[in-house]
Amino acid sequence: MPMKRSPSRSSCGCGSIISLCLAIFFLYGNIHTSNPKCSIQDFYLPALNNSLNSTDNATLYFQLKLRNPNILKGIYYDPVNVTVFNKFNTTTHIRNYVVPDFYQGFRKTAEKDGSVNFNEGAVSRAAFDNRTAVFRVDLVTAVRFKSFVWKTKSKRHQIMVGADVEVNDQGTKVNQKNVKLSQAPLSLRFCCVVAVLFNFLVFILLNF
Ligand SMILES: *[C@@H]1O[C@H](CO)[C@@H](O)[C@H](O)[C@H]1NC(C)=O
Ligand SMILES: *[C@@H]1O[C@H](CO)[C@@H](O)[C@H](O)[C@H]1NC(C)=O
Ligand SMILES: *[C@@H]1O[C@H](CO)[C@@H](O)[C@H](O)[C@H]1NC(C)=O
Ligand SMILES: *[C@@H]1O[C@H](CO)[C@@H](O)[C@H](O)[C@H]1NC(C)=O
Ligand SMILES: *[C@@H]1O[C@H](CO)[C@@H](O)[C@H](O)[C@H]1NC(C)=O
Ligand SMILES: *[C@@H]1O[C@H](CO)[C@@H](O)[C@H](O)[C@H]1NC(C)=O
């Protein structure tokens, strides 16, 4: 939708208040940039499901959730590289799955299914005596933000997040809630806050 024309100045004070609010909204939406929020919704290893009485199926199935929290910015994702390995043996049996590049509109959420094939031995070794295990999931990609107002693309921002996923003796993640992949670059966030404050100040000075 195109930017709305603000009502004519003469009508009343409301007009200028509304246009001020709109200006703040667009300014904020344009300047403030948040990285996508990444989490793991589903995580299932049939080989670790005790009820199956079989460890033959050494595939790991997972579902990623990628959310664009920005109010006025779309996100172009480069291919998303998801790496999974045994948390306690980080040198061998590293598997990865690549989600093809895609575009995500603002405030949209994408759910991406993925799977990796371990071998039976690797899964068995990853499990403790009580048949639980801990896997490490790392996600690496780069994103470009598309400004809704100016139709421009930002330069690439590197995203590197990860989490430990505990798996129970039914082969699914222990945590019922989504497992958040984190390691947000603090410096970027800090810069954004400073930029927003600075621009807001300039805006105020120019208008009054
Ligand atoms: C584990 O296997 C049992 C038996 O086939 C099945 O009923 C159950 O749904 C499986 N658990 C999960 C989490 O899929
Ligand atoms: C697994 O083994 C138990 C005990 O031997 C049995 O009761 C159960 O039905 C088996 N489950 C499957 C899916 O074969
Ligand atoms: C492994 O388990 C998944 C999920 O239960 C199932 O969809 C898939 O067909 C199984 N693969 C094999 C080779 O048994
Ligand atoms: C994904 O990450 C793995 C492990 O770091 C690496 O070996 C692989 O080359 C990467 N793949 C892509 C397409 O970047
Ligand atoms: C990791 O796994 C490999 C292959 O199974 C094994 O040789 C190695 O000793 C393991 N390392 C650790 C720290 O358990
Ligand atoms: C299973 O064993 C591991 C390692 O000994 C332990 O950290 C974990 O808490 C145990 N899990 C359960 C559910 O008993």
User: pLDDT for 122-178, tens place per residue?
Assistant: 888 888 988 899 999 999 999 999 988 778 899 999 999 999 999 999 999 998 889
Asked whether the beta carbons of 127 and 95 are under 8 A apart, the reply is no
pTM score of the predicted model: 0.79
**Number of the ligand 5 atom closest to the C-alpha atom of 86:** 1
β-sheet bridge partners, residue 95: 84
Q: State residue 188's pLDDT score.
A: 52
Q: State residue 93's pLDDT score.
A: 83
Among all ligands shown, which has an atom nearest to the Cα of 42? 1
The C-alpha angle with vertex 80 and arms to 119 and 175, in degrees rounded to 5, equals 65
Q: Does the C-beta of 22 come closer than 6 Å to ligand 2?
A: no
Q: State residue 184's pLDDT score.
A: 47
Q: List, for the chain, all residue ranges whose pLDDT scores fall below the cut of 50.
A: 1, 7, 9, 184-185
Q: State residue 173's pLDDT score.
A: 94
| Residue 137 to residue 142: CA distance in whole angstroms | 17
Mode of pairing for the β-strands spanning 102-104 and 59-67: unpaired
Nearest CA to ligand 3 atom 3: 46
Residue 171 three-state SS = strand
Asked whether the beta carbons of 72 and 106 are under 8 A apart, the reply is yes
**Comparing C-alpha atoms, which of 140, 152, 1 is closest to residue 81?**
140
User: What is the maximal distance between C-alpha atoms in the chain?
Assistant: 78
Q: State residue 132's pLDDT score.
A: 92
Q: Among 50, 87, 128, say which to mutate for ligand 6: greatest number of ligand atoms within 8 Å of CB.
A: 128
Asked whether the beta carbons of 40 and 178 are under 8 A apart, the reply is yes
